Amino acid sequence: MQVLIETRGLKTHFPILKGVLRRQAGAVRAVDGIDLKIGRGEWLGLVGESGCGKTTLGKTIIRLIPPTSGHIYFEVPEDIKEDIERQKEHKKAKGYSTLELKYDLAAFPSRKLKAFRRRMQLVHQDPYTSLNPRMKIRDIISEPIVVHRLLPRRERMGRVAEILEMVGLSEKQMARYPHQFSGGQRQRIAIARALATKPSFIVFDEPTSSLDVSVQAQILNLLMELKREQTLTYLYITHDLSVAESVCDRIAVMYVGKIVEIGKPEEIFRSPKHPYSQALVLSTPLPDPTRKRGRLVLPGEVPSPTNPPSGCRFHPRCTRATEECIHTEPLLTAGDTGSVACWHPLN
């Protein structure tokens, strides 16, 4: 796998402020130490219960939310990443901050960040609120082209027409407003807008969860085609494991700010290694009648990211937990087929 994006020790904590003086009383540790590699051209799924930090992670990777600590590397050669790691150990080493400012997206100053933004885009869940109702479609799609000064004025409408066609809409619809379109069409417009800057990486935050199943399938087919034709890389956040299984190249399972397992869909579905992945898989309705499915109700509540459990965060809900799980945090170990962070993995 050729790595396009890599995060190392990425954390995003939201401060909790209390009292008149607004003193920091704690933090929501929404993303709490993520090491993740996304391959060029890969469609990586991100699944996990509500509130586990999926949206925060997606937005942090593309720097829509500033990270608290850690590194984000976008198309950075391995030897430079290693250089940065080495030099970090001697914080004062000359060249460390220069390298970081040059290569680490987490440390980019705002001017550099703006220039970088066009290479990464986000498509939201709700096509009803993500498009400005007062703007015509052509302006919605050409806005990023204008902001990033990508094309002279006379060439813009040609490009908008081209993108509309790419997402299965027609040039004739350019002068319409968002309310004149259906939910599925609006999501096509949101995708068109994301494509306008010719990005190489797109984060989708539950892009089809508000759509009918048939429309959902059309959008997924469109994403598949676009990925192939435009050599795109996707981070695809979803609640729907069966969608993730059918479209993703790999799936990362997130639990309270951490990735607990990552692997190919067939591994996660047929032989999950983390007890939490197993619980998720077993709680997903599956259309395939030949597949066995037990009923599994997860005991206990999802822990608060403000005060996550010690050791393995899943231990209070895990039937396999031992002393070790309570006291020591398991790290993602790279296996031949996938990675899991668990002291007593299944399979």
Ligand X SMILES: Nc1ncnc2c1ncn2[C@@H]1O[C@H](COP(=O)(O)OP(=O)(O)OP(=O)(O)O)[C@@H](O)[C@H]1O
Q: How far is the CB of 74 from Mg ion (least distance, A)?
A: 22
Question: Helix crossing, 213-230 with 183-195: angle to 10°?
Answer: 20
The tokens of 91 are what?
């914080």
Segment contacting ligand X (CB under 6 A): 44-52, 169-177, 265-273, 290-298? 44-52
Q: How far is CA 309 from the centre of its chain?
A: 24
Segment contacting ligand X (CB under 6 A): 49-57, 159-167, 311-319, 327-335? 49-57
- List the x/- string, 290-309, binding to ligand X by CB under 6 A: ---------------x----
* 318 is an interface residue for ligand X by CB under 6 A: no
Q: Identify residue 279 by its one-letter amino acid code.
A: A
- Among residues 184 and 303, whose Cβ is nearest to ligand X? 303
Q: How far is the CB of 205 from Mg ion (least distance, A)?
A: 6
Going by C-alpha positions, the residue among 259, 255, 328, 234 that lies closest to residue 45 is 234
Q: How far is the CB of 55 from ligand X (least distance, A)?
A: 3
Among 33, 39, 41, 51, binds ligand X (CB under 6 A): 51
Residues 46, 201: Cα–Cα separation, whole Å: 15
Q: How far is the CB of 345 from ligand X (least distance, A)?
A: 23
Residues 210, 330: Cα–Cα separation, whole Å: 36
126-130-134 Cα angle (round to 5): 135
Going by C-alpha positions, the residue among 140, 68, 133 that lies closest to residue 107 is 68
Cα torsion angle, 194, 199, 203, 208, sign:
positive
* 11 is an interface residue for ligand X by CB under 6 A: no
* 50 is an interface residue for ligand X by CB under 6 A: yes
14: partner contacted, choices ligand X, Mg ion, none (Cβ within 5-8 A by kind): ligand X
Residues 181, 245: Cα–Cα separation, whole Å: 29
Residues 190, 124: Cα–Cα separation, whole Å: 8
Contact indicator for 235, 37 with CB cutoff of 8 Å? no
Scan residues 53-92 and list those touching ligand X (CB under 6 A).
53-56
Residue with CB nearest Mg ion?
55
* 251 is an interface residue for ligand X by CB under 6 A: no
Residue carrying the six token digits 């901050």: 97
Q: How far is the CB of 56 from ligand X (least distance, A)?
A: 3
Beta bridge partners of 6: 37, 73
- Among residues 61 and 219, whose Cβ is nearest to ligand X? 61
Scan residues 29-58 and list those touching Mg ion (CB under 5 A).
55
- Among residues 84 and 237, whose Cβ is nearest to Mg ion? 237
Among 3, 14, 33, 176, binds ligand X (CB under 6 A): 14
- Among residues 54 and 156, whose Cβ is nearest to ligand X? 54
Catalogue the E-assigned strands of 40-138: 43-47, 69-74, 120-123
Q: How far is the CB of 284 from Mg ion (least distance, A)?
A: 18
Among 30, 232, 260, 268, binds ligand X (CB under 6 A): 30
Question: Helix crossing, 96-103 with 78-89: angle to 10°?
Answer: 140
53: partner contacted, choices ligand X, Mg ion, none (Cβ within 5-8 A by kind): ligand X
Contact indicator for 142, 132 with CB cutoff of 8 Å? no
- Among residues 285 and 289, whose Cβ is nearest to ligand X? 285
Region for residue 40 given its phi and psi (left: phi exceeds 0; alpha: psi -120 to 50; beta: otherwise):
beta
For residue 324, the SS3 value is helix
- Among residues 32 and 267, whose Cβ is nearest to ligand X? 32
- Among residues 70 and 305, whose Cβ is nearest to ligand X? 305
- Among residues 24 and 50, whose Cβ is nearest to Mg ion? 50
Q: How far is the CB of 159 from ligand X (least distance, A)?
A: 32
Residues 36, 148: Cα–Cα separation, whole Å: 29
Per CB under 6 A, residues contacting ligand X are 14, 28, 30, 48, 50-56, 305
